[in-house]
């Protein structure tokens, strides 16, 4: 009976860090604490249901200076929401593994 190799019991890892992306994620923040959701549709619905005073209070809570125009304030809040929620989404990875010549030139500069 052949003796089983110790190498068969080892697991190999690739070393790529897929998650977490930020320090807050290391501590367990899933992103829903600041806005209550990471879905833009739900957040837009929430903003549309607020009156002007509540909308301005929400803007201050988020860290924006509230403006008098409701439409521009909602646009600014959505931009800030998208910046925040993008931190919690995985970044796209090239699936075919091919890199353009210009990217290869940039990467080889440090050699």
Q: What local confidence, expressed as pLDDT, does residue 106 receive?
A: 87
Q: Output the pTM of the full model.
A: 0.59
Q: What local confidence, expressed as pLDDT, does residue 7 receive?
A: 66
- Domain range list for the chain: 42-88
Copy the structure tokens of residue 43. Answer: 């957040």
Residue 35 neighbours by CB distance under 10 Å? 20
Q: What local confidence, expressed as pLDDT, does residue 109 receive?
A: 86
Copy the structure tokens of residue 5. Answer: 């190799």
pLDDT tens, N- to C-terminus, the chain (111 residues) = 566 667 666 666 666 655 555 666 666 666 677 888 888 999 999 999 999 999 999 999 999 998 999 999 999 999 999 998 887 776 666 667 677 888 888 888 877
Measured between alpha carbons, how far is residue 43 from residues 3, 6, 34, 86 in Å? 60, 53, 11, 14
């Amino acid at each position: 009976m052949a003796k089983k190799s110790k190498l068969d019991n080892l697991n190999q890892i690739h070393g790529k860090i897929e998650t977490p992306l930020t320090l807050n994620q290391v501590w367990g923040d899933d992103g829903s604490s600041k806005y209550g959701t990471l879905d833009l549709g739900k957040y837009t619905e929430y903003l549309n249901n607020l009156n002007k005073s509540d909308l301005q209070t929400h803007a201050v809570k988020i860290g924006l200076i509230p403006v008098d125009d409701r439409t521009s304030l909602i646009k600014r809040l959505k931009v800030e929401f998208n910046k925040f929620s993008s931190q919690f989404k995985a970044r796209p990875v090239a699936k075919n593994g091919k890199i353009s010549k210009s990217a290869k030139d940039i990467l080889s500069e440090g050699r």
